[in-house]
Amino acid sequence: MTKQPGPNVRRRQLGATLSELRRQSGKTIKDAAGWLGMTESNVSKIEKARQTVKPPTLRALGQLYDLDAAKVDYLLRLANEANQRGWWTAYRDTVPDWFRQFVGLEADAEVIWEYQAELVPGLLQTPAYVRAIARAARPAAADEDLDKSVALRRERQERIDGEHPPKLRFFLNEAVIRRPVGRPEEWRHQLECLVEASRLPHVELRVLPFAAGQHAAMLGSFVMMRFPDEESPAFVYVEHDRGAIYQEDPGDIERYTVNVADLEQRSAGPEGTRAMLLEAVRAC
């Protein structure tokens, strides 16, 4: 049994299919925009999975691209699946739109690479750790809001660790395991959870020691994802304090692929990483 694609992946498949069909028909984005009576920017957003597309629009594109009925029906099925509500919409009052999109993509990924310079990756954070970093970032936040943040994080973790989990490859700057977060017993528990996570078959956890010196990822944390039936990573996600950037240009993806290769070379292997984590637990 294979993992069923979610709405974000279906939207990506739909956009990529529309882009390919347009090129095969010899039409330009300008041609499609004129035919549909919309801007070129809107057509581009549809093809890049940044905007939903309604059935009348798909039927009109089917006419423009001279598609048969079976192909149009296929596009309509993809659109219907792409427009379904994801489980994360229940948290619309808790997290911003840009992060809800990330959560949906995360749930559909086949491989996730993540480098963190300061934080334990969200998918490995304990509830106490979530509360501590959320309180540090938002001192005036109500306890109810923190509880929602914890609930979202736990649901993300449950879905990622489900029947068909993605391959998770985490790289942590050594500072992540040296900076205590929360009360001593909470921090010790977080480290112990990292040790347990490092033993999971779908998780590869590596710590980049201070002794490794300079490295390619020193400019900051990032997440890179690859989806089923795709040969290359789809994008690199870089978060900042007011939002996030999705870098999809092939040159950017290649640059971060080089970063990952450098991290693999310079970081401790799985066994060495586990030894560092166990040493950190004993030091608590």
**Tens digit of pLDDT for each residue in 240-273?**
877 888 888 899 999 999 999 999 999 999 999 9
Give start and end residues of each alpha helix (H) in the chain.
Answer: 7-24, 29-36, 40-47, 55-64, 69-82, 97-108, 127-137, 143-160, 174-178, 184-197, 250-266, 270-283
State the pTM of this model: 0.76
**Using an 8 Å Cβ cutoff, are 202 and 166 in contact?**
yes
pLDDT of residue 1: 39
Report strand pairing: 243-247 vs 203-208.
unpaired
Task: Select 7-82's CATH number: 1.10.260.40, 3.20.20.140, 3.20.20.70, 3.30.420.40.
Answer: 1.10.260.40
Q: What integer best gives the mean pLDDT of the chain? A: 88
218-228: per-residue pLDDT in tens? 999 999 999 88
Task: Name the pLDDT band for 97 (thresholds 50, 70, 90).
Answer: low
Q: Domain spanning 92-283 has what CATH number?
A: 3.30.870
Lowest mean pLDDT among 3-12, 102-111, 175-184, 203-212: 3-12
Mean pLDDT of 114-135: 95
Q: Could you identify the residue written with the tokens 């660790």?
A: 161
Q: What's the burial of 10, exposed, middle or buried (CB within 10 Å: 0-12/13-18/19+)? A: buried
pLDDT value at position 158?
82
Residue 205 has pLDDT above 60, yes or no: yes
Q: Where are the domains of the chain?
A: 7-82, 92-283
